């Protein structure tokens, strides 16, 4: 079945970097774009942007430029979200979700930024 | 950007009773391709969101028929005909007509 499996929780110090992975299975990875969505503790869903899995071209929402980078490794059907210069306010669950239909979603990766 | 609003933000429902959530967009979600890119998701506690309804009124695979979506243009509604305990969740509408994709703030549904 179509599935997205994300990497495990991360605890990082301010200023560090983190790389979250999202491994796809059950479909042709390069046929569907991949979205990234942030959910801060107790908050709603915020679209961060998406990446064209065929061309590798990313699109970032306002507020997610500069420190946020989407990338791919199509050989292993995996999308990545890297966040650099982490701040406390980056503490959130990060989700990947397939295509414009946002189906399916990964299980989420909790990134905690704390000194 | 298209702003999505939802009312109410919270809803307490007696099991077996209906529930209705309104979602409004700041611009029409009718795309030039003829489709209206309005989606509904539910997020149960501790779980990722899951697709409930796509393009206003199409139930996703496995979604019970007590869930229905309606509307057009800028005004949309999600209805649950008879709320069950398992429907406790936060419900989000979302538009994917244009970038950036935007979510509503969410409506928390719980059981009385």
CA dihedral A47, A23, A75, B51 (to 10 degrees): -50
Q: pLDDT tens, B33-82? A: 999 999 999 999 999 999 999 999 999 999 999 999 999 999 999 999 99
pLDDT at B51: 97
Are B101 and A47 a contacting pair at CB < 8 A? yes
pLDDT at A32: 97
Place of tokens 């306002």: A62
Q: pLDDT tens, A16-66? A: 999 999 999 999 999 999 999 999 999 999 999 999 999 999 999 999 999
DSSP characters over B16-84: TS-EEEEEEESS--B-TTS-B-EEEEEE-TTS--EEEEETTTEEPTT--TTEEEEEETTEEEEEESS--
Which residues on chain A place their C-beta less than 8 Å from a C-beta of chain B? 35, 37, 44-47, 49, 59, 61-62, 95, 97, 100-108
Chain A residue closest in CA terms to B9: A44
Are B39 and A108 a contacting pair at CB < 8 A? no
pLDDT at A40: 98
pLDDT at B80: 97
pLDDT at A28: 97
Q: pLDDT tens, A93-103? A: 999 999 999 99
pLDDT at B104: 98
Cis bond leading into A64, ω under 30°? no
Place of tokens 């409506």: B107
pLDDT at A101: 93
* Closest partner CB to B49 (pick from A45, A100, A101): A45
Contacts of residue A86, Cβ cutoff 8 Å, sequence gap at least 6: A12, A13, A14, A15, A16, A17, A18, A111, A113
Give the number of C-alpha atoms closer than 13 A to the C-alpha of residue A32, restricted to the C-beta side: 23
Q: pLDDT tens, B75-105? A: 999 999 999 999 999 999 999 999 999 999 9
pLDDT at A15: 97
Contacts of residue A5, Cβ cutoff 8 Å, sequence gap at least 6: A22, A23, A25, A106, A107
CA distance A71 to chain B (A): 19
For B48, counting Cβ atoms within 10 Å of its Cβ (0-12 exposed, 13-18 middle, 19+ buried), the class is buried
Q: Please tell me the distance from the alpha carbon of residue A53 to that of residue A37, in angstroms, as a whole number.
A: 16
Are A102 and B51 a contacting pair at CB < 8 A? yes
pLDDT at B20: 98
pLDDT at B91: 98
For B14, counting Cβ atoms within 10 Å of its Cβ (0-12 exposed, 13-18 middle, 19+ buried), the class is exposed
Are B60 and A100 a contacting pair at CB < 8 A? no
């Amino acid at each position: 079945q179509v599935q997205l499996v994300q990497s495990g929780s991360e605890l990082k110090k301010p200023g560090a970097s983190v790389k979250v992975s999202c491994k796809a299975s059950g479909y042709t990875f390069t046929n569907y774009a991949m979205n990234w969505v942030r959910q801060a503790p107790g908050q709603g869903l915020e679209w961060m942007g998406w990446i064209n899995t065929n061309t590798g071209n990313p699109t970032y929402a306002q507020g997610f430029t500069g420190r946020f980078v989407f990338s791919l490794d199509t050989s292993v059907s995996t999308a990545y979200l890297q966040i650099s210069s982490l701040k406390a306010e980056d503490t959130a669950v990060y989700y990947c979700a397939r295509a414009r239909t946002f189906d399916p979603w990964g299980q989420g990766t909790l990134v905690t930024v704390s000194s | 950007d298209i702003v999505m609003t939802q009312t109410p933000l919270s809803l307490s429902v007696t099991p077996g009773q209906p529930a209705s959530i309104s979602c409004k967009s700041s611009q029409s979600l009718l795309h030039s391709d003829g489709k209206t890119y309005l989606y509904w998701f539910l997020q149960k506690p501790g779980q990722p969101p899951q697709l409930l309804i796509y393009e206003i009124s199409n139930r996703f695979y496995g979604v019970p028929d007590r869930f229905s979506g309606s509307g057009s243009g800028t005004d949309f509604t999600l209805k649950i005909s008879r709320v069950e305990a398992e429907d406790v969740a936060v419900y989000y509408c979302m538009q994917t007509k244009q970038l950036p994709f935007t979510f509503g703030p969410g409506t928390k549904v719980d059981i009385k």
